[in-house]
């Protein structure tokens, strides 16, 4: 079946602009995760949604970052007032039920802030 999809695949923006990144998880997966992959920091957890529970936002680096998941499926990660240090690849993953279930990753969105 279809895997995790993300859009756009690449995004170039100017410092100070807002950006929205989209993730479509695998159908039937109740858990959805966002990670960030950058040269300096490696792969970092950002936020986790599981069903109707309150999301785990413990990895968000600042209040400029937010995410929502509508209808338990598609998720949008929003970065407000982008900074150059936000440049990274943003990865989305989904799993069948959270916990120790295997997470399947999308191809990522490469964000470049000029």
Partner 1 sequence: GDSVTQMEGPVTLSEEAFLTINCTYTATGYPSLFWYVQYPGEGLQLLLKATKADDKGSNKGFEATYRKETTSFHLEKGSVQVSDSAVYFCALNRDDKIIFGKGTRLHILP
Of residues 16 and 43, the one with the C-beta less far from partner 1: 43
Q: How many angstroms separate the CA atoms of 27 and 4, rounded?
A: 9
Contact indicator for 59, 3 with CB cutoff of 8 Å: no
Closest separation between CB of residue 13 and partner 1, Å?
Answer: 22
- Tokens, residue 114: 């000029």
35, 60, 77, 111: which one binds partner 1 (CB under 8 A):
35
For residue 98, the tally of other CB atoms under 10 A from its CB is: 19
Q: How many angstroms separate the CA atoms of 76 and 34, rounded?
A: 10
Binding mask 44-73 for partner 1 (x = CB under 8 A): xx--x-x-----x-xx--------------
Of 16-24, 43-51, 60-68, 72-80: span binding partner 1 (CB under 8 A) = 43-51
- Closest by CA to 83, choosing from 12, 13, 38, 16, is 16
Q: Is 75 in the site for partner 1 (CB under 8 A)?
A: no
Residues binding partner 1 (CB under 8 A): 31, 33, 35, 42-45, 48, 50, 56, 58-59, 91, 93, 98-100, 102-108
């Amino acid at each position: 079946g279809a895997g995790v999809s993300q859009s756009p695949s690449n995004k170039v923006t100017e410092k100070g602009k807002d950006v929205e990144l989209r993730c479509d998880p695998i159908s039937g997966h109740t858990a959805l995760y966002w990670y960030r992959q950058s040269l300096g920091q490696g792969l970092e957890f950002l936020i986790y949604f599981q069903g109707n529970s309150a999301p785990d936002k413990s990895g968000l680096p600042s209040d400029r970052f937010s995410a929502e998941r509508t209808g338990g499926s598609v998720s949008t990660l929003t970065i407000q007032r982008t900074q150059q240090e936000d440049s990274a690849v943003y990865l989305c993953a989904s799993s069948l039920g959270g916990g120790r279930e295997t997470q399947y990753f999308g191809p990522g969105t490469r964000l470049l802030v000029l």
